[in-house]
Structure 1
Amino acid sequence: MTIESMIKRIQDITRQDAGINGDAQRIEQLVWMLFLKIYDAKEEFWEFEEDDYESIIPEEFKWRNWAVDHKDGKALTGEELLHFINNKLFPTLKNLEVNENTARRAAVVKDIFQDANNFMKNGVLLRQIINILNEVDFTEYDDRHSFNDVYELILKDLQSAGNSGEFYSPRPCTDFIVEMLEPKIGEKVADFACGTGGFLISAINHMREHVKSTEDMDKLQNGLYGIEKKPLPYLLATTNMILHDIDTPRIDHDNSLGKSVRDYKESDRFDVIIMNPPYGGVEESSIQNNFPVELRTSETADLFMALIIYRLKQNGRCGVILPDGFLFGTDNAKVAIKKKLLEECNLHTIIRLPGGVFAPYTSISTNILFFDKSGPTQETWYYEHQVGYGTKTYSKTKPIRHNDFKNEREWWNNREENEVAWKVSMDEIIANNFNLDFKNPSKAQEEALLSSEEYVERLKEAIKESNDLVQKLEAALKA
């Protein structure tokens, strides 16, 4: 059975069920089952390795004791299976007893099921899916690691699942950013809006090559940290980490912006921060109040940029994907955040990505900002990414690929200005009122035509700035 055929079989079955409404529910339905099966395989290993291992899951509710069909006619199916899952399994796992002494790898079970749902209404179809999942043996190394490809296909499906597409960053982008930042074993690595965990998985794959001992593996596991606000991507990220042999994933189901930046201590800072914050979100005033007055804005991505500056260690490194709006925005808060970034960090590189990298979720142009906390910015290099297909933009049928970053990799350590690379001094940035939207000078003579999406994005930015000014005026009048 091929990976693609397995996914197709499961999708075909879920489409027959009246309880499943859309791709997002289909994926959530599949992933809680995957989590239980993967966790059960992990428990078999822990039981073998640790004489005193005790499971947080009661025996009756372990995957091996209710989901496996032994072909003896006793396997749960139909209404009996639905009754067991809805009235016994879910209530039990949602209400597991957890306290400060509970191991993280055990507590994660309750965390996962707090917001999980069983959408399926046909117990016979549900049994068919469970049987397909049982064709994969997660205790076998080859099966488990080949299933990583299955999981990657599931995550890519999110790009077609409405707003859920925001949870997935293309793997070529996450791998490239991690490769350029070179996180090392023993360093603390974080993603404050981790979605499905793509950046953290890229970091794991990069550092795993340097694991030489059990101590190294412990350092790798303990050095990874993620936060995700929404239930579905949190479930996906945690399962993804366990699937990649991170037995105690430190993924918090929380809002990274929900704490005052003034409360962060040195122990709350990280050596490497890698992320793709959500764009276009609007944060309420209670969240904005967690930041100094001059940095307060309703734009989610801007607040994440401010957060990163506060949580990056001295000499720490960061790679973050941001839309063009952050570069050219001129409202007071955006300018203040960029000024703080350039004065406290060395913004050494901006990779200008074309439209379509995140198609079909959004077609707006984005950028990868690389900076470190080694001192203030002196100059910033720009590199205009070239679409590997010879077209101007990427699309759903022509997605970005790993090899498309070949030119950036070759240029990175031997920088020279050319037709796609140029540098801008800090004096030029200041003279431009901290507008970082510097165009390729080799194309300065070309007519500056914006795509319709870019016009809309700039219009939205102007409207948002106007609304912010109106809000400030209203607040001043009330005062």
Structure 2
Amino acid sequence: MLIGEERNKVDQIWDTFWTGGLTNPLLVIEQFTYLLFIKQLDDIETENEANAALLGFENEEKIFGPDQQNYRWSKFKNLAPAVQFQLMQEEIFPFIKNLHPDDDASYTRFMKDATFQISAPDKLAKIIEGIDKLELDEEDSKGDLYEYMLSKLASSKINGQFRTPRHIIEMMVEMAAPQPTDTIVDPAMGTAGFLVAAEEFIRKHHEDMLLDDAQAQHFNTTMFHGFDTDPTMLRIGTMNMMLHGVQNPSIDYKDSLSKHNPDKELYTLVLANPPFKGSLDNETVEESLLRVTKTKKTELLFLALFLRILKLGGRAAVIVPDGVLFGSSKAHKAIRKELVDNNKLTAVISMPSGVFKPYAGVSTAILFFTKTNAGGTDKVWFYDMQADGYSLDDKRQEIPENDIPDIIARFKNLEQEEDRKRTEQSFFVPVEEIQQNGYDLSINKYKEIEYVPVEYPSTSELMTKLDKLNMEISSDMEKLRAMLGQ
């Protein structure tokens, strides 16, 4: 998490954008990202040059040609503001837009429509100076910086964007445990938070993957897939992945629920927090989804989509609003029945309503399931999350109470949960009981509350105490009167 002085530096840069006329947070993040990317290109070039010199080889991975050395951050950051501004507008920004002119990479496609929107030389110079002072030596620091910038979407609610808290994403990814062989997708990716967390998990737990040429190629090109319908979010998501070291993520414009999405049995892991509110016209929705759950509700249609796009044996970790768990409509029951009877539902984690503040106070849950098309649910693990390490109000300040480590530890050792009672925070429910309850998946349907009887003193004891108190009060009053000479 970005804290202290570094956060203040980012705030100062943000204020410079703001006073320069850029007040849309998405546009600020976009322009901020372009400059970070330009700086990173120079960092990569410098590192390649140093490695080549150390090994006595010629640097064959040059980004900047002989006539483009002034495009390097280390060079142009020291130029006069007017020269910087002209160079950025006329040469450097067109250069980064056309880094891969013959490539069909996500970066190339989404940068075609990119525009440079910093309007004055003095503002650009101040922003460059601010970015140059940021400590961005490690991958984690870049991720923290990006996360902090994205958090500024909270008060704007631009385009209805609904940012998933990073610690919730990281918990889900830790539990889903992506593998080097996985093909991962987020069909409603936003800023690509889930894909970034999956990439970080792979680097941490499977670092040897990047030492193998074939696996490294998979990591950089075909492992991570993300779709959205907002061009700005697609650019931000692509740059986010590239800043985290994924060279060419498979990110594309796609309305995932529409008839124009042909994806079927392509992925092995879905990580997503799809849109909750809203409904679609049935005529625009892909027919195979309506066969699973005939509805206009996006949260139900996305669950049907996840099952369609997963390969057999593929798994999902996804966030849903509470209504999905207990809604009584035919569509609600149909999708729950599909998950329980025709696939393998592993876990339902109920989250407190404050998790998504300050965006909204909606209650949500996380579903973990595996596509089998042949059932497999024998029992479902429920967990009642009470705290996520932050206050459940709009401020979301850090607090000691945090169930997340316990959730992860228990999920990884489910065999030890067999004897847990319904009065505890986590427990199993057999599939037969879920079926008998109309496939209700709300934890309150199965949780038992243990009432501890309270014993009160008898009436005579209370009267004796009252008499004693009255006598003490009378005695104190007599002493007070004596002191006052009455």
**TM class by smaller structure:** 0.7 to 0.9
Q: Could you tell me how far apart the structure 2 residues matched to 1:390 and 1:249 are?
A: 32
Tell me the residue number matched to 1:228: 228
| Deviation readout 1:387-413 (Å, 9 max, x if unpaired) | 15697x454333688953122133321
Tell me the residue number matched to 1:249: 249
Q: Answer whether contact 1:321 1:368 (CA < 8 A) is retained.
A: yes
Q: Could you tell me how far apart the structure 1 residues matched to 2:323 and 2:223 are?
A: 32
* 1:160 counterpart SS class: coil
Q: Does 1:186 align with 2:181?
A: yes
Closer/same/farther in 2, CA of residues 309 and 95 from structure 1, 3 Å limit:
same
Give how far 1:55 is off: 6.1
Closer/same/farther in 2, CA of residues 234 and 445 from structure 1, 3 Å limit:
farther
Q: Could you tell me how far apart the structure 1 residues matched to 2:161 and 2:80 are?
A: 44
Q: Does 1:443 align with 2:449?
A: yes
Closer/same/farther in 2, CA of residues 73 and 174 from structure 1, 3 Å limit:
closer
- Select which of 308, 313, 323 maps to 2:306: 308
Q: Could you tell me how far apart the structure 1 residues matched to 2:80 and 2:389 are?
A: 54
Q: Could you tell me how far apart the structure 1 residues matched to 2:400 and 2:165 are?
A: 9
Closer/same/farther in 2, CA of residues 53 and 236 from structure 1, 3 Å limit:
same
Tell me the residue number matched to 1:434: 439
Tell me the residue number matched to 1:68: 76
Give how far 1:122 is off: 3.3
Give how far 1:29 is off: 3.0
Q: Does 1:169 align with 2:164?
A: yes
Q: Could you tell me how far apart the structure 1 residues matched to 2:185 and 2:404 are?
A: 23
Tell me the residue number matched to 2:325: 327
Q: For residues 114-133 of structure 1, what are the structure 2 equivalents within 5 Å?
A: 114=113, 116-133=114-131
* 1:370 counterpart SS class: strand
Q: Could you tell me how far apart the structure 1 residues matched to 2:385 and 2:282 are?
A: 37
Letter in 1 for 2:253: H
Letter in 1 for 2:251: I
Give how far 1:119 is off: 4.2
Q: Could you tell me how far apart the structure 2 residues matched to 1:198 and 1:402 are?
A: 24
Tell me the residue number matched to 1:450: none
Q: Answer whether contact 1:94 1:110 (CA < 8 A) is retained.
A: no
| Deviation readout 1:228-263 (Å, 9 max, x if unpaired) | 2223332222122112211122222322223467x4
Give how far 1:444 is off: 8.4
* 2:207 counterpart SS class: coil
Give how far 1:327 is off: 1.2
Q: Does 1:108 align with 2:107?
A: yes
TM-score, normalization by structure 2: 0.76
TM-score, normalization by structure 1: 0.77
Q: Could you tell me how far apart the structure 2 residues matched to 1:302 and 1:119 are?
A: 39
Letter in 2 for 1:358: F
- Select which of 351, 354, 358 maps to 2:352: 354
- Select which of 196, 201, 213 maps to 2:196: 201
Q: Does 1:291 align with 2:288?
A: yes
Q: Answer whether contact 1:345 1:377 (CA < 8 A) is retained.
A: yes
Give how far 1:368 is off: 0.7
Tell me the residue number matched to 1:9: 12
- Select which of 19, 27, 30 maps to 1:28: 30
Q: Could you tell me how far apart the structure 2 residues matched to 1:304 and 1:405 are?
A: 26
Tell me the residue number matched to 2:457: none
Q: Could you tell me how far apart the structure 2 residues matched to 1:427 and 1:187 are?
A: 32
| Deviation readout 1:55-83 (Å, 9 max, x if unpaired) | 69997698428982334676334xx57xx
Q: Could you tell me how far apart the structure 1 residues matched to 2:340 and 2:400 are?
A: 31
**Higher mean C-alpha deviation, range 57-66 or range 196-205:** 57-66
Q: Could you tell me how far apart the structure 2 residues matched to 1:423 and 1:120 are?
A: 56
Q: For residues 17-166 of structure 1, what are the structure 2 equivalents within 5 Å?
A: 17=20, 19-39=21-41, 41-42=43-44, 63-64=71-72, 68-71=76-79, 75-77=83-85, 80=86, 85=89, 98=101, 102=103, 104=105, 108-114=107-113, 116-135=114-133, 142=137, 145-163=140-158, 166=161
Q: Answer whether contact 1:190 1:273 (CA < 8 A) is retained.
A: yes
* 2:72 counterpart SS class: helix
Q: Could you tell me how far apart the structure 2 residues matched to 1:330 and 1:352 are?
A: 18
Give how far 1:6 is off: 1.8
Q: Could you tell me how far apart the structure 2 residues matched to 1:158 and 1:345 are?
A: 37
Q: Could you tell me how far apart the structure 2 residues matched to 1:247 and 1:299 are?
A: 36
Give how far 1:167 is off: 4.5
Q: Which runs of 5+ in 2 are unaligned?
A: 53-57, 453-486
Give how far 1:309 is off: 0.5
Q: Answer whether contact 2:238 2:251 (CA < 8 A) is retained.
A: yes
* 2:353 counterpart SS class: coil
**Higher mean C-alpha deviation, range 117-126 or range 226-235:** 117-126
* 2:354 counterpart SS class: coil
Letter in 2 for 1:26: V
| Deviation readout 1:322-376 (Å, 9 max, x if unpaired) | 1112112222333222222222221121000001111101111110111113533
Closer/same/farther in 2, CA of residues 207 and 289 from structure 1, 3 Å limit:
closer
Closer/same/farther in 2, CA of residues 388 and 341 from structure 1, 3 Å limit:
closer
Tell me the residue number matched to 2:238: 238
Letter in 2 for 1:428: E
Q: Could you tell me how far apart the structure 1 residues matched to 2:448 and 2:390 are?
A: 19
* 1:257 counterpart SS class: coil
Q: Could you tell me how far apart the structure 1 residues matched to 2:295 and 2:349 are?
A: 25
| Deviation readout 1:260-309 (Å, 9 max, x if unpaired) | 67x4454x2x2221111111033233432443443242222222111111
Tell me the residue number matched to 1:274: 271
Closer/same/farther in 2, CA of residues 39 and 197 from structure 1, 3 Å limit:
farther
Letter in 2 for 1:420: Q
Q: Could you tell me how far apart the structure 2 residues matched to 1:335 and 1:124 are?
A: 60
Q: Which runs of 5+ in 1 are unaligned?
A: 447-479
Q: Could you tell me how far apart the structure 1 residues matched to 2:135 and 2:148 are?
A: 18
Closer/same/farther in 2, CA of residues 54 and 301 from structure 1, 3 Å limit:
farther
Letter in 2 for 1:367: A
Tell me the residue number matched to 1:453: none
Q: Could you tell me how far apart the structure 2 residues matched to 1:321 and 1:123 are?
A: 44
Q: Answer whether contact 1:279 1:300 (CA < 8 A) is retained.
A: yes
The root-mean-square deviation of aligned C-alpha atoms, in Å, is: 3.6
Closer/same/farther in 2, CA of residues 399 and 62 from structure 1, 3 Å limit:
farther
* 1:271 counterpart SS class: strand
Q: For residues 434-473 of structure 1, what are the structure 2 equivalents within 5 Å?
A: 434-439=439-444, 441-443=447-449
Q: Could you tell me how far apart the structure 2 residues matched to 1:57 and 1:331 are?
A: 63
Q: Answer whether contact 1:3 1:149 (CA < 8 A) is retained.
A: no
Give how far 1:88 is off: 7.1
